[in-house]
Structures are given as C-alpha cells and as structure tokens.
Structure 1
C-alpha cells in the first residue's frame, strides 16, 4: 500500500474557507480567481507565477 496515494484519496478542501486571489493573465488579460503562486490561465493556457 502506498501511503501517499491513499491519503490523497481522502483529502478534502473546504471551499468556503479557501482564500482566493483575483489574478489577471499577463498574456491575454483575462481576470479570474486563483489559488497558489504558479497559475495556468483558463483562457489561453499560459503558465505564469504570481508575485507576493
């Protein structure tokens, strides 16, 4: 049994408490909500990092 795979099957995220950031794609200009620092634009699929 692979412990890492087993635990990730049952990991849940409370979406009401999740902090999202308003992000604008530098390539196409689409604005969307995101989580994390490395983001893929849902419109043009451009991968970029956000600055803190």
Structure 2
C-alpha cells in the first residue's frame, strides 16, 4: 500500500492488481520478492496499516 499520487511505477509493474482505498493505492504483488521490493520502495504492508481490503 502506498499513498495516492506518490511515485509508484516500479511497484505497479510487479503487481497483478491495484485499487484505491481512501488516500492509498493497494497493490497485490505477484510474489514475495516483489512485495519485499515494494516495501523497500516505500510501500507499507497491508497487515501493518489501518486499511482493510478484500477481493
């Protein structure tokens, strides 16, 4: 998850789905490595946030 309107092109390229929730963009990553890289690029794991999301 990352705040809307912030640079997230690199995260987006490794995601299989993304959507907006409030002031954030939620990404579903293709694998654990992509998720770890997203965190290194400033994303917050959904489990560590106050945002809820269901498919």
TM-score, length-scaled by structure 2: 0.24
Rg bigger for which structure? 1
**Greater relative CO (CA pairs within 8 A, separation 6+):** 2
Q: Which structure's residues are more often helix, by fraction? A: 2
